[in-house]
Amino acid sequence: MSNDIWVLAEHQDGKVKKITFELLSAGIEFSKKTGQKVATLLLGSGLEEAVKSLTPFADEIYLLDDPSFTPYTSDAYLPSIASLGKEYQPSILIGGATSTGKDLFPRLAMHLQSGYAPDCTGLSIGEDGKWMARRPLFGGKIFAEMVFSEARPQMATVRNNTFLVNENPDRSAKVIPIASKTDPSALRKKVAGFEKAAGAKLDITEADIVVAGGRGIKAPENFKIMEDLADVLNASVGTTRATVDEGWRDLKDQIGKSGKNISAKLYMAFGISGAIHHVLGITTCKTVVAVDNDPNALIFNYADYGIVGDLFQIVPALTEELKKALSSV
């Protein structure tokens, strides 16, 4: 029994995703209080660069080097991680509230007969040493604080940007090779390939900054001004259901109840009225800026900073000013 803090590493094209560094950074902070080791599970093949980047962020890297793990399928991951979980019994196993995390963790929890807190926006350790997971319910109207029963591991998926990445991680992980428990002939799912969207930026759930345009943008070609602003800020472009329904933008960029929940450090809304279905998706953003020409637009109730004005004047002016300001940094 290891009693350690385990983080499932996510990677794409051999590079570890930021959410993994966020979770390992949190793990390091918790381990300073509890004395537990921080370990990460890395599954895939051709992961030399990933191992190198993870080394300062963990005490141990459990490396399952097998081509069946790339790209991710729950079919391939499940038997191997479930077997590791049973053998080592970590205290807690966390992953990103990403499409991988949301697909894998409920299945793992079932296999390990353990508790699972999905889509968390906070983790802490109580006086009794038990982990507490905080998660928004009813679209962020209330937050539930959940503790786990005696079953181990305690399992949670955590949203992007819940924790900051430690800029000076001080660990030096030992790599522990683990034999895969996955039988390639038993795999029922096969990923045929990936298609990258044209000009793809980070997914809106992963981006630190999201700039979003709503129906106030008036025409699909006008989103060019949002793309220009996003380029300057290294942001991703989100939107509302109104523009998706119009066929102006892709569903993958929709924020809200029937779209995605985002936890960006900075969310900027342009020409978005602030309907409840939309704002349900931004309740855990750190700072919200809204621009709308209607002073009574509901979005101002949720914004930290608001500008009443015409977005077609404000967005290009903002882009120019930010370009100047950021070029001198």
Determine the straight-line distance between the first and last CA of the chain, rounded to whole angstroms. 49
235: left (phi over 0), alpha (psi -120 to 50) or beta: beta
Give CA–CA dist 44/270, Å, rounded: 41
Query: Does the footprint of ligand FAD cover residue 273 (CB under 6 A)?
Result: yes
Tell me the two tokens of residue 308.
């009443």
Contacts with ligand FAD, 177-216, as mask; x by CB under 6 A: -------------------------------------xxx
Least CB distance to ligand FAD at residue 276 (A): 7
Least CB distance to ligand FAD at residue 244 (A): 8
Give CA–CA dist 327/324, Å, rounded: 5
Query: Does the footprint of ligand FAD cover residue 44 (CB under 6 A)?
Result: no
Instruction: Determine which helix (DSSP H) or strand (DSSP E) holds 29, and give its type and residue range.
Output: helix 18-34
Helix (H, G, I), strand (E, B) or coil at 85: helix
Closest CA to 265 of 123, 127, 159, 177: 159
Least CB distance to ligand FAD at residue 320 (A): 18
Query: Does the footprint of ligand FAD cover residue 288 (CB under 6 A)?
Result: no
Enter the DSSP assignment of 46. Answer: S
The residue whose two tokens read 């353990």 is 114
Among 294, 304, 320, 321, binds ligand FAD (CB under 6 A): 294
Query: Does the footprint of ligand FAD cover residue 252 (CB under 6 A)?
Result: no
Partner residues linked to 92 by β-bridges: 5, 154
Query: Does the footprint of ligand FAD cover residue 272 (CB under 6 A)?
Result: yes
Q: Per CB under 6 A, which region of 47-55, 129-137, 219-227, 290-298 contacts ligand FAD?
A: 290-298
Query: Does the footprint of ligand FAD cover residue 306 (CB under 6 A)?
Result: no
Least CB distance to ligand FAD at residue 309 (A): 7
Contacts with ligand FAD, 210-249, as mask; x by CB under 6 A: ----xxx-----------------------xxxx------
Residue 99 backbone dihedrals phi, psi, to 5 degrees: -65, -35
Q: Are strands 122-125 and 15-16 parallel, antiparallel or unpaired?
A: unpaired
Q: Alpha carbon of 191 to those of 31, 181, 195, 258: distances in Å?
A: 37, 20, 11, 26
Least CB distance to ligand FAD at residue 212 (A): 9
In sequence order, which residues have a C-beta less than 8 Å from that of residue 286 and are 6 or more positions away? 161, 263, 264, 265, 266
Least CB distance to ligand FAD at residue 175 (A): 42
Query: Does the footprint of ligand FAD cover residue 115 (CB under 6 A)?
Result: no
Least CB distance to ligand FAD at residue 313 (A): 8
Least CB distance to ligand FAD at residue 203 (A): 16
- Which residue's CB is nearer to ligand FAD, number 77 or number 248? 248
Give CA–CA dist 29/132, Å, rounded: 15
DSSP H stretches of helix in 55-98: 74-88
Query: Does the footprint of ligand FAD cover residue 310 (CB under 6 A)?
Result: yes
Q: Catalog residues that contact ligand FAD under the rule CB under 6 A.
A: 214-216, 240-243, 254-259, 271-273, 275, 277-278, 291-294, 297, 310-312
